[in-house]
Structures are given as structure tokens and as C-alpha cells.
Amino acid sequence: MKSDRKRNYKSPLRKNAAEDTRARILKSAKTLFSQRGIDKATIGAIAQAAGVAVSTVYALFKGKEGILAALMESALFGEQFAAAMKLLEGDDDPVRSIALTAHVSRAIYDGERSEIGIIRGASAFSAALRKEEQRFETLRLSMQEERINRLFASGRQRENVTQEEAQHILWMYTSRDVWRMLVEEGGWTPDRYQAWLSETLLTALTKETSQRS
């Protein structure tokens, strides 16, 4: 019994220690990626800045790409994203779900800009960053599929647009490139971007809006 209690007590301590180590590594990597760029920041430098052994970094993240993936996931799918998805998942109207996709996109790119915008600027030509971006694009397309399926199941989709076309239209309008051109380069506020995107998606994909326009 005593040994069981001892194991139960140590388990949370180990978990907290591991989470603290992981957080320190990510914080150090974020700083070094921002200062030197992804390609020039080494695992050794990250480990030294975090105060851990190189082997610990590999054990937790497998390598630099694992660290980058963790940083991007935290930035893209953080608190803003969770709040937007909660709103989306709480709405069973397929047309409103299309409109709310604008809120999800704004949350993703707004979070990314504040969390890893400097890293992106310092690593514009990084192959590792491009690989992670491609992975994210595949994931984003997959995540949006269910919304398009529900729209077509309801029969409220815009006429003369196939289901496959609709999914790629949604994917295109919610891309990082559109956010970049309108917000980062065009000077739009995130609020204006979200309002425009919501109306644009309804017009492009739903029967109701196309009939009103």
C-alpha cells in the first residue's frame, strides 16, 4: 500500500517536471528561431538556453521539426481558436457554420501573428517551415470537410457548385495568403477581415445568399 501511495504521489510530480521542461525548451526555441531563424538555430543552442541536455530535447521532440510543429500548433490552435471552435460546434445550422468559419480563420491567423510572426519573418526561406505549413494546409482542408458535407446534406448549397469545388473554395478563401494580402499588407483590421470573409463565404457557397444578391 505504501509503495502504491508513493508511486501515485510521484507521478504528478514527474508530469509537472516534464511539462516544465517542455515549456522551457519551447520558450528557448521560440527566442532562438526569432533571433537566428529556424535553420541557423541548433538543437545544442536550444538545449543550452533551456538548461537541459541535448538528449532531453530529442526525447521530447525528436528534433527541430518536432519543436517547430509544437510551436505552430500552440500558436495556430491556441485559446482564440478553441473559443471560435466552441462557438462553431455549438451551432447546428449548416449555413451559419459556413459564416462562422470566418471567425475560426481570424482566430488562427491572429494567434499565429502574435505568437510566431517574428519567426516567420526570420525564416521565410526555411524548408522546415514550408513543410510545416504544408502539413497545416492539409489539416485545414480536412477540418473543413465536415462543414461542407453538412451544407450539401441540407440542400442549401449554391447551385452549380460541386461538393469538391465547394470544399476547395472554402479552403482558398480561408487561406493564409488571403489574410496576409488583406490584413498584413492591405491594412485591414481583423474585424473587417472577418466580416468580409463571412459574407464572401455565404455568397460563394450558399443558396440563400446567392438568391438575395
Per residue in 96-108, pLDDT (tens digit) is: 999 999 999 999 8
From 15, 30, 62, give the residue that closes a domain. Answer: 62
Determine the pLDDT at residue 120.
72
Residue 68 domain flag: no
Quick one: pLDDT band at residue 211, thresholds 50, 70, 90?
very low
Shared-domain flag, residues 52 and 126: no
Of the listed ranges 52-56, 88-92, 195-199, the one predicted with least confidence:
88-92
Of the listed ranges 41-45, 75-79, 119-123, 200-204, the one predicted with least confidence:
119-123
pTM of the model: 0.75
Residue 67 domain flag: no
* Whether 67 contacts 42, CB under 8 Å: no
Q: Cα-Cα-Cα-Cα dihedral of 32, 34, 40, 41, to 10°?
A: 20
Using a pLDDT cut of 90, give the percent of the chain over it. 53
Shared-domain flag, residues 92 and 185: yes
Among 19, 14, 32, smallest CA distance to 43 is for 32
Determine the pLDDT at residue 17.
78
Shared-domain flag, residues 113 and 176: yes
Residue 164 domain flag: yes
For residue 42, the 8-state DSSP code is -
Stretch 186-190: mean pLDDT: 96
Determine the pLDDT at residue 53.
94
How many structural domains is the chain composed of?
A: 2
Residue 52: count other Cβ atoms within 10 Å of its Cβ: 18
Stretch 56-84: mean pLDDT: 86
Mapped onto helix, strand or coil, the DSSP state of residue 174 is coil
Q: What angle do CA 75, 189, 191 make, to 5 degrees?
A: 80
Shared-domain flag, residues 29 and 84: no
Instruction: Assess whether pLDDT exceeds 50 at residue 210.
Output: no
Q: Which residues of 100-113 are buried (b: 16+ CB within 10 A; e: fewer)?
A: bbbbbbbbbbbbbb
Mapped onto helix, strand or coil, the DSSP state of residue 188 is coil
Residue 47 domain flag: yes
Instruction: Assess whether pLDDT exceeds 50 at residue 82.
Output: yes
Determine the pLDDT at residue 81.
81
Shared-domain flag, residues 207 and 140: yes
Report the CATH number at residue 6: 1.10.10.60
Rounded CA-CA distance 123/121 in Å is 6
* Whether 123 contacts 75, CB under 8 Å: no
From 34, 62, 90, give the residue that closes a domain. Answer: 62
Instruction: Assess whether pLDDT exceeds 80 at residue 54.
Output: yes
Shared-domain flag, residues 201 and 99: yes
- Write out the three cell numbers for 155: 440542400
Instruction: Assess whether pLDDT exceeds 80 at residue 65.
Output: yes
Rounded CA-CA distance 136/12 in Å is 32
- Write out the three cell numbers for 112: 499565429
Shared-domain flag, residues 80 and 161: yes
Instruction: Assess whether pLDDT exceeds 60 at residue 10.
Output: no
Shared-domain flag, residues 117 and 52: no
Shared-domain flag, residues 101 and 11: no
Residue 134 domain flag: yes
Residue 91 domain flag: yes
Residue 36 domain flag: yes
Shared-domain flag, residues 81 and 165: yes
Residue 202 domain flag: yes
Determine the pLDDT at residue 213.
40
Shared-domain flag, residues 35 and 79: no
Instruction: Assess whether pLDDT exceeds 50 at residue 212.
Output: no
Domain of residue 55, residue span:
2-62
For residue 116, the 8-state DSSP code is H
Mean pLDDT, the chain, integer: 86
Shared-domain flag, residues 55 and 80: no
